[in-house]
Structure 1
């Protein structure tokens, strides 16, 4: 199977980079963590102009009806830039849910933001206070929901909430969470790559004993291990996207991608923290945004243990 991206997918990823690269994403994240969502919502609106929220919304509702591989490409770039907001739930999960057509149309326009809790694997809703629509998925039963109480997350840009059901709106498919698990895996790869890039820049500039610390063999080996991990995880994520695109619901590829992406991103986070030294622990350094997001996403939409069990229990040949 050929995992290379098409020119269109590469161009879409480059367009996201061109939009978010010069933007003050760090400032938007700091504001979002403090409950000031204006800058983050402006970023949401600009990404909506590129068609990001409507990526998986069918064309009849104003979306682009793109493939799971397109979703993986976009989420990797969003993870690389570390944008705040319920993108995983809105872009990847909401179009797969049995929700009203009007909500899908709003998603495609970029005027809707969806937050979803799905206990036990994702018991709390992310950014429910900034969402326009909230849902609680219990088993396969989907209900509209309201915020019962707010909670804190290890990642301050992911504000959590416990939801209470209001009204049943439909019954979801058996493998409705596959796409959001795929999206989380792609996001982890993007975050891991950003941590690697930031660390390479740091060890190139930081000097000890008259030399950049990046010239020391131990540092080179640590960074090489991170690179190898990410290079193994990325094609597995794309392979999982191909499997979903071919209609392989419940495929082992999706949980396997989530596990390996989490491992690769966690290694990137640990290495980045170690090689940055004491400044890596500070909230003032933007590095912490990706470190904390990685730690939060590793357990989001299913723990590594849950997904390893899915791989073991998956249908033969999947």
Structure 2
């Protein structure tokens, strides 16, 4: 079992990084959070040209035919940059659930799809800029006829409650696989966000001085940062394992274990990074807030920690 990215996967990840940087880096997410979608929509269009929308769509249907591991690679980078927009819904969730005509439209140029899922993600992300909106429930999917804006913990995640229209039945196994794919993508995003928070903390610890020397030289701070490094490094192989065994009978257990570990590690990274930055980290102007607020928001959707721990427990007890 290979737990390392291939050359092709690393190249795709680098392409994601370059596109985000070319469009402004963290400023894209900051502008999106303030209500200015210009840079974010330009980035979405560029990702569309890269083929990201069809990452998990078969080549015969016009997609890239990527694996679950490809998905994890890409969404880690999206989390690292706090890339705004319903990428998870468009790329990981919906392609499995919509019909052929809708799938072709979703991977077309300019399409932006979002969705809500009863119990797991009750509010849809960015319904105001989406061209396609879907409400999903227990065994059904429906196009949304309207939405109501609601407040979000993370400014970069602009949410709305969808009102479903006519419902279409879904295959139970197909729905379960799509929801697990969304949970895997969210775990990868949490890992990427955690890595960015650690990088920001380490970088700041090298330049912020106290009592005549950088705070990063103090042993207690080194221990805190090392704890974050360990937590993230332990979460990564769980995500890789879930991705490489996604089509096996252990999918649900493996995805849940990955989501739990990534959520715990990212929360630790957020708390530690905020402490390292001190008062400056609490200001709305500092970009650290993008990830500090994104992490708890992502950890609570696509299955809370309690939900995923229960799934792991059921798997163990039924073995």
TM-score (normalised: structure 2): 0.95
Q: Distance in 2 between matches of 1:247 and 1:101?
A: 25
Q: Distance in 2 between matches of 1:305 and 1:147?
A: 31
Please give the per-residue CA displacement for 1:161-182, whole angstroms capped at 9, x wherever unaligned. Answer: 1111111234143313000000
Q: Distance in 2 between matches of 1:308 and 1:123?
A: 20
Which structure 1 residue ranges, 4+ long, deviate > 4 Å from structure 2? 315-318
Please give the per-residue CA displacement for 1:251-286, whole angstroms capped at 9, x wherever unaligned. Answer: 300011001100000000000000100011111000
Stretch of structure 1 that moved more, 103-112 or 205-214: 103-112
Q: State the partner residue of 1:248.
A: 249
Q: State the partner residue of 2:160.
A: 161
Q: Residue 56 of structure 1 contacts residue 92 of structure 1 at CA under 8 Å; is this kept in 2?
A: yes
1:311 aligns with 2:312: yes
Q: Distance in 2 between matches of 1:113 and 1:95?
A: 12
Please give the per-residue CA displacement for 1:146-197, whole angstroms capped at 9, x wherever unaligned. Answer: 3331101010111111111111234143313000000000000000000000
- Segments of structure 1 that go 5 or more residues without pairing to the other structure are none
Q: State the partner residue of 2:85.
A: 85
Q: Helix, strand or coil: the match of 2:54?
A: coil
Q: Distance in 2 between matches of 1:248 and 1:20?
A: 36
Q: Residue 259 of structure 1 contacts residue 307 of structure 1 at CA under 8 Å; is this kept in 2?
A: yes
Q: Distance in 1 between matches of 2:152 and 2:145?
A: 19
Q: State the partner residue of 1:283.
A: 284
Q: Distance in 2 between matches of 1:255 and 1:273?
A: 27
Cα drift, residue 250 of structure 1: 4.4
Q: Distance in 2 between matches of 1:317 and 1:231?
A: 29
Q: Residue 245 of structure 2 contacts residue 251 of structure 2 at CA under 8 Å; is this kept in 1?
A: no
Q: Helix, strand or coil: the match of 2:189?
A: helix
Q: State the partner residue of 2:268.
A: 267
Q: State the partner residue of 1:184.
A: 186
TM-score (normalised: structure 1): 0.95
Query: How many residue pairs were aligned?
Result: 316
Q: Residue 3 of structure 2 contacts residue 241 of structure 2 at CA under 8 Å; is this kept in 1?
A: yes
Cα drift, residue 210 of structure 1: 1.5
